[in-house]
Amino acid sequence: MSFELQASLRDRNFDMAVSLADGETVAILGPNGAGKSTLLSVIAGLLRPNAGSARIGDKELFTLDDRTHFWTPPHLRGTALLAQEALLFPHLNALNNVAFGPRSAGASKAASRESAQRWLTEVDALDLADRKPAQLSGGQAQRVAVARALAAEPELLLLDEPMAALDIHAAPLLRRVLKRVLKNRKAIIVTHDILDAYMLADRVIVAEGGRITEEGPTRQVLERPRSHFAAGLAGLNLVAGATTSEGITTPDGRVFAGQHDPHWTPVPGQAGVAAFPPSSVSVFLGDVHGSPRNSFPVTITDLEPYGDQIRVRASSGPPAQALSADITPAASADLGLVPGMEVRFVVKSALVSVYPA
C-alpha cells in the first residue's frame, strides 16, 4: 500500500511532493527551517495546507483544491507521529501507555494489554511495564513511545528526530530498535544524523527552503551528493559548474579537474559537480611549486578541532563558496593559520569525483 502526497502552504513557502512504496523507509534531511517538521505535521493532519492531496493506498487523507475540500481528521488517518520527546501520559505506567492505542480503537482490555506486552517486548522494554514515565530515563521513555506508536498499528509511521533528545549511550540502542521494527514498514524519519539515514532509510530526500532539492537511494545521495547540504552531511566539499573533458568549470571561470563517473558520458556544458573530501586538500602559503591540477586561493573563516585533525574552513569566490581542509595540528601551527588569512587550497585531480548535478 503506497503513500503519495503533494502539498503547498503559501505562508510558509512550502511546496513538496513525496511518495513511499509499501514497506519503504525514507529519511528527510535538511537544515533548520527547511520544512521537514511541517511535512510531518501536514501528513499527520496537524497542519492544513492551502492546496494539495494525500492518500495511503486507497485511503484519501485530504484533497484541497478549488472544487474539493476533503479533510480526514488526525485520529482516522492511520498515521502515528513520534516526536523528539516521548510525551507519555504521566499518570499511566508504561504498559498502559502502550495499551492506550488499541484500547481507544475498541480492543478489549485483555487484548490491549496483550498487544502492549508484545510491543514492549519488541522494543526491549517489557521489564519497564510497571514504571511510570517519571521513573524512566530518556532512552527508556523513547522506546516505550515507539511501542505505543506501533501498538496503534499505523499504516504510516512518522518520526521527528527521535534520537535528538537522547544521550550518546541511549541513541545507539534506540537506533538498533528502530532498525528492527521499521523493517518492511512504511515510515518517514526526519533526522540531522547521517548515521540514521544510513542505518534506517532505503531512500533519502533533501529539503531546503520548503522545497525538495535532492532525492534518491541513501548511498547514492550520501556518496554522490548534488546539494551542498547533503555534501556537508557526507563530509565532502562540493563545487558546481559546467562539465568539461577535464572536470568542471565554475561560473567565475575556475577549473576543477577530476575523475568522471565511469558510468557517465559528460556532455560539454552540462551541469555537473566536483566532490572531494577535506582530507584530500593540502594548505599552502603563497604560490605552489610544480603544476598542481587544482590550486585556488581561499580566505580562512574558521579553525576547529576535528578528531585528531584541525578542520580549516575557508571561503573561495566570488561567488562565495565554503570549502574545508583537514590538516594536522602541527601543520596548522607551522603555517600560522588564523581566521582571515589568505592561503591556497590544493587537491590532486585523482581525488576529485565529477558527476552530473
Inter-residue contact 342 to 285 (CB < 8 Å): no
Running DSSP on this structure, what letter comes out for residue 217?
E
Q: How much is the pLDDT for 291?
A: 56
**pTM of the model as a whole:** 0.84
Place of cell 532539492: 213
Kindly report, residue by residue over 5-43, the tens digit of the pLDDT. 999 999 889 999 999 999 999 999 999 899 999 999 999
Kindly report, residue by residue over 147-181, the tens digit of the pLDDT. 999 998 999 999 999 888 788 788 888 898 899 98
User: How high does pLDDT run on average in the chain?
Assistant: 91
Kindly report, residue by residue over 273-303, the tens digit of the pLDDT. 999 999 999 999 977 765 557 888 899 999 9
Query: Which cell is 179 given?
Result: 532498525
Kindly report, residue by residue over 246-266, the tens digit of the pLDDT. 888 888 888 889 888 777 787
Question: In 94-238, which residue ranges form alpha helices assigned H by DSSP?
Answer: 94-104, 109-122, 138-151, 170-181, 194-200, 218-223, 228-233
Q: How far is CA 298 from CA 224, 287, 320, 321, in A?
A: 24, 12, 10, 9
Place of cell 497542519: 47
Q: How far is CA 321 from CA 171, 243, 298, in A?
A: 34, 18, 9
Q: How much is the pLDDT for 286?
A: 78
Q: How far is CA 111 from CA 93, 96, 105, 150, in A?
A: 17, 12, 11, 15
Whether 217 has a pLDDT exceeding 90, the answer reads yes
Higher pLDDT, 319 or 226: 226
